[in-house]
Amino acid sequence: MFFSRQVIVVRLTRSTPKTRQVIVVTRQLDCRRTGINCEKEMAHACQLTGAHASIVHAKALLTDQVKLDDAHLLLLPGGFSFGDELGAAKAFANRLNQLRERFQEFVAQGKCILGICNGFQVLVKLGLLPGSPSQVVSLTYNDSCRFESRWAHHKVCPTPCIFTKDIEQIYLPIRHAEGKFVMSHVSLPQQQIVLRYTTAEGKIAKRYPDNPNGSQDAIAGICDPTGRIFGMMAHPEAALYFTNHPQWTRSKEKPLPKYGNGLKIFQNAINYIKESL
């Protein structure tokens, strides 16, 4: 018995006849395992930006029932695809590998891809991040040897990433067991390092718990050279409302803001689509 594999299609209708679509890809779940579980939150995030989201079968991408050419933003959500039994997102990446060239063509047309947590792991294992013919970086087991679930401070570095425009610092929830960013023989260009873990004071986090997984250079998110493929371990879709913040009841802001910092990631993407496509 299986749960349905899903894709979320978001249409952004403007005053012109043109429509914009966002596709959020998830995978088929064996009922005996855990799997992708953040697609509804990501769809809701897109809806908050003014887009309309609908959920369809992810198999449709693999069988051309849904045309990637009709979309402008592809979202890969977080969770535990295939139970992470072969390593985080490895099986899911193998499944999507037949779409790798189509994903590259998608971005070459000026369109965008966002991978969050498990989705970030997929992009890395496909080689779409940092953007090379084969996989040169990875996300592996946390140094703590346990699942980490809490909020973390992030510095947004100067990059061409369209998702982090006008953001300098961001506080977001993390929840992963394999989030340690490691590099092999390559040295990642500074302009592709989008997010770094920091202390509450804004200093680069060199040790646990501020660096929650032991990532090299405290790297928490990277982009490709175009800035239109972005992967991050934190979950902005879990910080859409101000009341998602763990200390919102202590806020002295009057009136309380309605939305949280996570929404900015999605709003930037939709704004880019409106202006550029």
* Residue pLDDT, tens place only, 133-156: 888 999 999 999 999 999 999 999
Q: State pLDDT tens for residues 63-120.
A: 888 788 878 888 888 876 655 555 657 777 778 888 899 999 999 999 999 999 989 9
Residue 8 has pLDDT above 60, yes or no: no
Task: Characterize the bridge pairing of strands 112-116 and 73-76.
Answer: parallel
The region that residue 127 occupies, defined by phi over 0 for left and psi between -120 and 50 for alpha, beta otherwise, is left
Fold for the domain defined by 2-276? Rossmann fold (3.40.50)
Q: Is residue 263 classed as helix, strand or coil in its secondary structure?
A: helix
Catalytic residues: 117, 235, 237
Domain ranges of the chain: 2-276
| Residue 31 burial (CB count, 10 A) | 8
- Residue 118 CB coordination number (10 Å): 29
